[in-house]
A and B are shown apart, each in its own frame.
Chain A
């Protein structure tokens, strides 16, 4: 327990928080790597997932792609990237995308593909165009699974962004990896504890987002900044009381995306 005391003492010393290599700067760096990687992953995975989920074509591509990306080792890609492209944001972003794309792609695809076909047909028969069907019916219904994918992606990325430090980059991995290297285990523990706290906080926030996005519960409507157009919101779904056990049978919210595995 000695290491733990030393680590906590380190964290609760104000002097360790300031400066260019202080805890605050390292946390910001860590969040920066995470945010960039999550955003780039989402920009790639969500459109592809929407397209494949909506058209139903290329399902095989999702399953194979997800499995292949998962099998590629993050650390190897990161270090190879640094050797090839030099230091900077590019190598960690590419390496962390390997972790971010699979859950986002699987979540988006599964979310869209699992929307009740009756609901989609009803939307079409009301004269909605394909784009409207996608954006006003399928996406709102798939939102919990898409955000679930985002949650898993963020979690994996924030946890693994630690390895960026091995390639002479910053982030909380600096404490963890340097601490082991110089045999100052309480420093390593500082990194480990802070990464864990960061992961728990981000995960909690995203869990809340998933919870709020469940369709039919009207949770988004009460929020100050609705993600959906209010008008569509009212048109697209009946009041919660009439919804009953409709939209998604057998679906549990807040689950990691194991979904696409053939």
Chain B
């Protein structure tokens, strides 16, 4: 604990790197997965193909992917870009399965009502169906964000930056207080990010609160 308090500057700098590596992929993954998930939703064949591909991507261990990616895309080994691409793949793989499931759960009456008042297919998707699937997306995002934060820290064994470097440094220097400081910092980071996403989810679904209150 002392280590953390006496190294706040360093902790802050590492936190920025850690957040950059773990949260940029969350944003990119969301931007890719929502349109893709909504697009494949109507077609059984496309949806099945997406689900299978996503499952296979999800099965590849992250540490392995960090090492294998430079062979597939033109980046150097141990480049930050590998981490961002790899984690974006995981985020997309997880969310792209959640989106169609969330859309399935939109009640039929709501959909019919939207059609009845004259929404076009696109407007209905953007204004009715996707907003109603926000709670599922938020649940997925929370899992992904916390998992990514943890994965970036594991990446320090192959030289990836972030708060995980305190683990490897502390281990090599036999300083358990540095490792404890790293655990506390990452734990707090994950909890804060988790709570922020949850609060953001509440803020953009005001109807959910009204329903709970009545």
Contact = CB atoms under 8 A, between A and B. Distances in A.
B30 interface: no
Interface in B143-164: 143, 146-147, 149-150, 153-154, 156-159, 164
Interface residues of A, number: 48
A246 B202 CA distance: 33
Interface stretch (B34-42, B119-127, B171-179): B171-179
Interface in B76-105: 77-78, 94, 97-98, 101, 104-105
A252 B159 CA distance: 39
A252 B104 CA distance: 11
Contacts of B58: 155, 256
Nearest to B152: A73
A180 B66 CA distance: 11
Nearest to A162: B63
A196 B61 contact: yes
Mostly, the B contact residues are helix
Nearest to B174: A83
Contacts of B191: 67-68, 71
Contacts of A252: 101
A79 B187 contact: no
Interface string A188-217: 110111011001100100000000000000
B64 A191 contact: yes
Interface string B166-206: 11101100101001101100110011001000000000000
B60 A199 contact: yes
A195 B157 contact: no
A83 B176 contact: yes
A155 B150 contact: no
Interface of A: 1, 3-4, 67-68, 70-77, 79-80, 82-84, 155, 158-160, 162-163, 166-167, 173, 176-177, 179-180, 185, 188-189, 191-193, 195-196, 199-200, 203, 250, 252, 255-256, 258, 261
Enumerate the 6 nearest inter-chain pairs by beta-carbon distance, A residue then B residue, closest first.
Answer: A159-B61, A71-B190, A192-B64, A76-B183, A79-B171, A261-B139
